[in-house]
Structure 1
Amino acid sequence: MPGNKLTIGNVEITSLSDGLLEFDLCNFFPAIPNEDWHGHESHLSPSGGVRFNLACFVIRSEGRTIAVDTGLGPKPTPDTPWGELLNDFAAHGMKPEDVDMVVMTHAHRDHIGWNVVSQDGKYVPTFPNARYYVSTRDWEACHDPALIETRFPNAPDCVWPLEDLGVLELMEGEHVLTSELTMLPTPGHTPGHMSIAISSQGEQGLVLGDVLHNTVQIENTDWVSRADIDPETTRITRRNLMDRLERDGIPVAAVHLASPGFGRIVRTEGRRYWQAI
């Protein structure tokens, strides 16, 4: 099977990418002292920064084609290291028209950028045959004047228009997409952050969204990033999920880990770590 595909029962996941981001360590994990990174350098980029992929997982389940998260969107300049998602669709023989559903794990800017495009001075859906799904809590949060500028700066351009276009679906609590895919509330990173539980033919899987930004957080579950809106809830969510994923050996699709983002949480010699698959 190609390295960018993962099969769980009858469900097929294809990992695409909108590009890469890299942040200065102190900028992205400002609450973690430099000395605490000693012994964890392998989790960082060669320059000592925090690098992460901007994955879009295309899931095929029960005849549906579901795009999970849509990256940062079109390139503002030719040398911008993101804006590659539609090119990656084409490279893998897929078209935006193939997508039936677009699911946002949350409404942060690096997960919603290709939701819509501007055409003749108005917004149109990038995925013209799709319904777009976001949690009610994130829909409300991205309209909160206290949060828009710092937490959801491109929501007015990439999320709000979906309502006027008539393609928006709001999700409350656990939400069934297909009989094999269920959205699960995993709050903290944003108020309405959600992950996707997969259950097919007796096999399990999980699409994590931003429960993880970096593999160091698998062992150090209390390490939160500057992007986490509610640090304490984030810690609880991550701790509980890492325990479950390790215990049950569930394969994971993690949007920001190194492409393709597929792996398991395993323990060796008393330490928990990421095992890519």
Structure 2
Amino acid sequence: MYWNVGRVKITKIVELETTGSTRFILPLASNEEIRKLPWLIPHFATDEGRLKMSIHSLVVETPTRRIVVDTGLGNAKEGRNVPTWNNRNGPFLETMTEAGFPPDSIDTVLCTHLHVDHVGWNTTLIAGQWVPTFANARYVFGKSEYEYWRDHSVEPDKAAVFSDSVKPIAEAGKADLVASDARLCDEISLIPTPGHSPGHMSILIQSDGEQGLLTGDVAHHPCQMAHLDWSSTADSDPVLSAATRRELFSRFADTPTVVIGGHFNAGRIRRDGDAFKFIV
């Protein structure tokens, strides 16, 4: 699955897809409440009101760069707080290669934030060592995000993620720590969108008069456009994340901007009363 924004192509590489089983992340998104939002069906929810979500990477090809945005869960990782995320042995790299993106062809890895399901394929276990998966790439992390997790990964699951998927990149000398409003190249710039994590960033793509927005986890699901106060259980600051959603969605509502989520497919944001809806 792919989308074009001017001369930029965005390809979704799926690691894991789920239907339902998401109440742990969005506890207020009951089946009954979701059925009250018919515009979610069928693309983002089932007729029964079960949410459709995915863990995926987005490969962003500009005329000069080949960028992987977020890197999923990874294989052989341990200490995760979701049992099915431990010791995975999935075909993600083979899927990428078959789609035309072998790891050695990637020149940039950009993480919107440093949570478990966005950094896993940063590294691969080889001969007992965690090494950078994308050997020819620079890894771009938000400076404030990196420094926060470097200094605050005290819980065992957070410590495991940082030590096997982030720290080895820095130790290999491949990490570029940037401001959360940095410009990466002519077509790609960053927007600070804190709340889900302290240094969370979204990605603005501009090319040939067209515009795209990669939201990361500002919202885990489009239902949060209708219910801005439905903060994720993973949000570090639920009040700030709700304010960030309103600010970001207001900025891009009723424009032709192609919006792609960290866990959902593309659409366009439309104002709907005091909130928003998402139209494919």
Name the aligned partner's letter for residue 224 of structure 2: Q
Q: Deviations over 1:179-211 (max 9, x none)?
A: 110011111000010011111111111111011
User: 2-side partners of 1:61 and 1:94: how far apart?
Assistant: 14
SS at match of 2:267: strand
User: 2-side partners of 1:254 and 1:44: how far apart?
Assistant: 15
Q: Residue 34 of structure 2 contacts residue 50 of structure 2 at CA under 8 Å; is this kept in 1?
A: no
**Pairwise mapping of residues 1-277 of structure 1 onto structure 2 (< 5 A)?**
4-21=1-18, 24=21, 26-30=23-27, 36=33, 39-40=36-37, 42=41, 44-45=45-46, 49-74=50-75, 83-145=90-152, 148-149=155-156, 151=158, 153-257=160-264, 261-267=265-271, 272-276=276-280
User: 1-side partners of 2:279 and 2:211: how far apart?
Assistant: 17
SS at match of 1:156: helix
The worse-fitting range, judged by mean Cα deviation, of 108-117 and 266-275 is 266-275
User: 2-side partners of 1:142 and 1:62: how far apart?
Assistant: 33
| Count of matched residue pairs | 270
User: 1-side partners of 2:117 and 2:67: how far apart?
Assistant: 18
Shift of 1:105: 0.4
**CA distance 1:78–1:226, change in 2 (3 Å):** closer
Name the aligned partner's letter for residue 25 of structure 2: F
Q: Residue 133 of structure 1 contacts residue 168 of structure 1 at CA under 8 Å; is this kept in 2?
A: yes
**CA distance 1:204–1:186, change in 2 (3 Å):** same
User: 2-side partners of 1:83 and 1:38: how far apart?
Assistant: 33
Name the aligned partner's letter for residue 234 of structure 2: A
Sequence identity of aligned pairs in percent? Answer: 34
User: 1-side partners of 2:226 and 2:159: how far apart?
Assistant: 29
User: 2-side partners of 1:127 and 1:137: how far apart?
Assistant: 23
The worse-fitting range, judged by mean Cα deviation, of 128-137 and 115-124 is 115-124
**CA distance 1:13–1:26, change in 2 (3 Å):** closer
User: 2-side partners of 1:38 and 1:80: how far apart?
Assistant: 35
Q: What TM-score results when the alignment is normalised by the length of structure 1?
A: 0.86
Name the aligned partner's letter for residue 263 of structure 1: G
SS at match of 2:24: helix
The worse-fitting range, judged by mean Cα deviation, of 136-145 and 201-210 is 136-145
Name the aligned partner's letter for residue 252 of structure 1: V
User: 1-side partners of 2:212 and 2:245: how far apart?
Assistant: 16
Q: Deviations over 1:52-101 (max 9, x none)?
A: 21121111113210000011011678999883421221221220011000
Q: What TM-score results when the alignment is normalised by the length of structure 2?
A: 0.85
Q: Residue 20 of structure 1 contacts residue 82 of structure 1 at CA under 8 Å; is this kept in 2?
A: no
Unmatched runs of 5 consecutive residues or more in structure 1: none
The worse-fitting range, judged by mean Cα deviation, of 79-88 and 129-138 is 79-88
The worse-fitting range, judged by mean Cα deviation, of 143-152 and 154-163 is 143-152
**CA distance 1:106–1:39, change in 2 (3 Å):** same
SS at match of 1:159: helix
Q: Deviations over 1:24-55 (max 9, x none)?
A: 45422236678755624855457755442112
User: 2-side partners of 1:90 and 1:67: how far apart?
Assistant: 13
